[in-house]
Each structure stands twice: as structure tokens, then as C-alpha cells.
Structure 1
Amino acid sequence: MLQKLSLILGGASSGKSAFAESLVVATKAPRVYLATSQAFDDEMRAKIAAHLDQRGPDWRTIESPLDTAHALSQVAESEVVLLDCATMWLSNHLLAESDIAAEQERLLTALSNCNGRIVVVTNEVGLDVVPDNKLARQFRDAQGKLNQAIAAQADLAVLVVAGLPMLLKGELP
């Protein structure tokens, strides 16, 4: 059985979202897709539309690029949430010049207090070269700290590489 909080990490296009979706679908519970991306251009709008079509009608979608903590408070005990993804959520807050430490604490508290089970998708960014600019380095460091904090709280942590899940913590359902 899927535990309270699962963290699925991987690089870009690693298969992490597909793996996370498969965990949620396997529960047979009502599904909530908590979307954190924002459509600023046609390419992103097309990508979002393709993801909606791929998931199908069996998902309730909540778009929450910034106030994800509030969205998580609206989840029923019977539901399973796929938060896709923590990386976009963090990027949104960096670009909005939010207090990252305060927003991270709000998110961690919301994950802990959420009534339903949650699967969080995030990018593992610590395997790349050191970025050449301040904002990129700030993002990489903040993402690493966020991933570590969620992983510490998670019952299950899985790294997906080339579509293959590698168990880091807990037991796969």
C-alpha cells in the first residue's frame, strides 16, 4: 500500500512523472493532480494539454503554482495527490522573490498535515555542473535543500533514471 508521503526524484525526462502516476493509479483511490507549472508560452500550453489528455478524466486537477500548501489542505482523506512538481513550485517562488525558507516550511507543514496520501515529483539537480550564474546557483542550492527536507519526511523515496526506479528509502507498494 502506498504510504502517506512518497518522493520521486529524477533528472529532466527521466520518467519520474510517469512512475509517480503509476503509483497513484495503482492505489485505485480518487486521484488529484496538483499542477505547479505555469503556461507562459505556446510550447508550455501544449505540454500541459498533452499531460491532461494522457492522464484522462479520472483525475481532479488543481492548478497551484504558488499556494500549494492551501491546495493540500483541501484534499480529502480518501484521495491520493500527485504533486508535479516541487521543482516548478520552487522556480515559481524564486521568480516571485518569495521568502524561500518560509514557503518551504509552509509546504513541509502542509505535506505533514494533508489528509490524503501524497506523491511528490521533483528534479534531482545535484548531479550537474556548478551553474555559472547567481540565480541558477541559488536555485540549485534551494532545490537540494527542499529535496532533502521532503526526503527526510517521506516514507518512500525513489530515484528514477532512464525510466528505471531505484529505491532509496522505504518499500515499493
Structure 2
Amino acid sequence: MGKVVLVTGGARSGKSDFSESLLKEKKTVCYLATNSANVDDPENHHRILLHQQKRPHSWHTEEGYWQVADYLAQATGFDGYLLDCATLLTLNCFYQMMTEQHGQDYAKIDKIIQTLTEEEKQGIEMRLLKEWQEILKVVRRDIAGDFVIVTNEVGLGIVPENSFTRWFRDIYGRMNQYLGKEADEVYLVVASIPVKIK
């Protein structure tokens, strides 16, 4: 069984480059891309292209954020895995859950989000945590190669202006706490300098 490595840092801190460097000696690597290209967002598409161009061509890229544990249970033959990133996976899972329940009308979903009770929010967070628990369960049970997770350190900036963003900032923070506790190694990347904190 390989080790689970969590790499956290702020935007443009160099965390993705460092994470990729941890797997550069591996013969076969599966890159789990949790940010899917949106034709209505050319800037996001450009970011994805830049990430793709930096990665070795020999790496296998799997795009997706839903049922990741199921995919990993079938993709056990790689020497290393890189999931980039945990923050987007968590947010995309949330919207997947919301669209399954309320349909594809995002304006309607935005209104529903504003009316969620604290009990409903707690239920949603528990479902998101369960997604991560399932992923790490499969990694520990079935994956032989190292598994590197990139996440965003979201708690060092200003308090967000709206309640949804504050709530999700807290969810990200608690997800990061969970991943940090479960990981064998944790790195904080600041200004492209990785600092091993576990």
C-alpha cells in the first residue's frame, strides 16, 4: 500500500507543481482532474489547458468529480495518483447532489441554498464527508501506489461577504482537517516553497 499525501496552499502558491514533482519518478500516474471544462467559461478552459500542457504526456488523465471511489476501485494498476483538487471535488459534488434533487435550474438552486436550515446544511456536509471517506477507504484498501491530494488552504483570507461562501469556506476547512488527519504526510506550499508539516 502506498502513502496518502496531502498538499495544501493558497492560490498560485505552487502546490500543483510540487504535487506533480512528488510523482515524477513513477512510471504510470493517474491524474484525477476534478475541474471540468465549461464552454461558457473560456478563462477556466485556458487554466485547464495550461495544467494539461505541464503534465507528462505519459500520465493518464481522468476527468470527473462524482463516484470517484467507484472509479478508483477499478483503476488500481497505477504507480501513483494525483487528485487535483479536493476543493473543487467537494464543491462539484455539492452541486451534483443539488441537481439530482432539484434539477438543472441553477437559479432555483441558488434560491434553495439561501433557505437551507442548519440541520439541512449539516446533512449536506455529512454526505460530502462520506464521499471523502469512501475515496480514502478505497485508496487504503485497493491502491498500491502513492495517492497525492491537492487542496486549497481557504482559511487565511478575509471572511467572505455572503452566507453561502462563509458556509462553504467552513466546509472546506473541515474537509481539510479530515484529510490532514487521514494523510500519512502533509505539506504546506507557500511562494513555491513546500514545508512538511506532518
**TM-score past 0.5 threshold:** yes
Task: Give 3-state SS (helix, strand or coil) of 2:156's partner.
Answer: coil
| Cα distance in structure 1, aligned partners of 2:59 and 2:28 | 7
CA-to-aligned-CA distance 1:105-155 (integer Å, 9 cap, x gap): 232232232213210000000111111111101111000010010110100
Q: What corresponds to 1:70 in structure 2?
A: 70
1:34 to 22, 29, 32: 32
| Cα distance in structure 2, aligned partners of 1:96 and 1:60 | 24
CA-to-aligned-CA distance 1:19-38 (integer Å, 9 cap, x gap): 00000113x23101000002
1:107 to 114, 132, 138: 132
Aligned pairs for 1:5-154 within 5 A: 5-26=4-25, 28-40=26-38, 41-98=41-98, 99-114=124-139, 115=143, 116-154=145-183
The range that moved more, 9-18 or 114-123, is 114-123
Q: CA deviation at 1:91?
A: 1.7
| Cα distance in structure 1, aligned partners of 2:9 and 2:86 | 12
Q: What corresponds to 1:157 in structure 2?
A: 186
Q: Structure 2: any 5+ residue segments left out of the alignment?
A: 99-123
Larger Rg: 2
Q: Which TM-score applies when normalising by structure 1? A: 0.88
Percentage of matched positions with identical amino acids: 39
| Cα distance in structure 1, aligned partners of 2:165 and 2:125 | 14
Q: Which amino acid aligns with 1:44?
A: N
Q: From the two aligned structures, give the one with the greater strand fraction.
A: 1
Q: What corresponds to 2:111 in structure 1?
A: none
CA-to-aligned-CA distance 1:40-79 (integer Å, 9 cap, x gap): 2111112212211211311101111232222222232543
Task: Give 3-state SS (helix, strand or coil) of 1:24's partner.
Answer: coil
List structure 1 runs of 4+ shifted beyond 4 angstroms.
none
| Cα distance in structure 2, aligned partners of 1:62 and 1:53 | 15
Q: Which amino acid aligns with 1:49?
A: L
Per chain length, whose mean CA-contact separation is higher, i.e. which structure has more relative contact order (CA < 8 Å, sep 6+)? 2
| Cα distance in structure 2, aligned partners of 1:97 and 1:133 | 21
| Alpha-carbon spacing, 1:127–1:15, altered in 2? closer, same or farther (3 Å) | same
| Cα distance in structure 1, aligned partners of 2:146 and 2:56 | 20
Q: Which TM-score applies when normalising by structure 2? A: 0.78
CA contact (8 A) 2:30 2:78 kept: no
| Alpha-carbon spacing, 1:36–1:44, altered in 2? closer, same or farther (3 Å) | same
In angstroms, what is the RMSD of aligned CA positions? 1.8
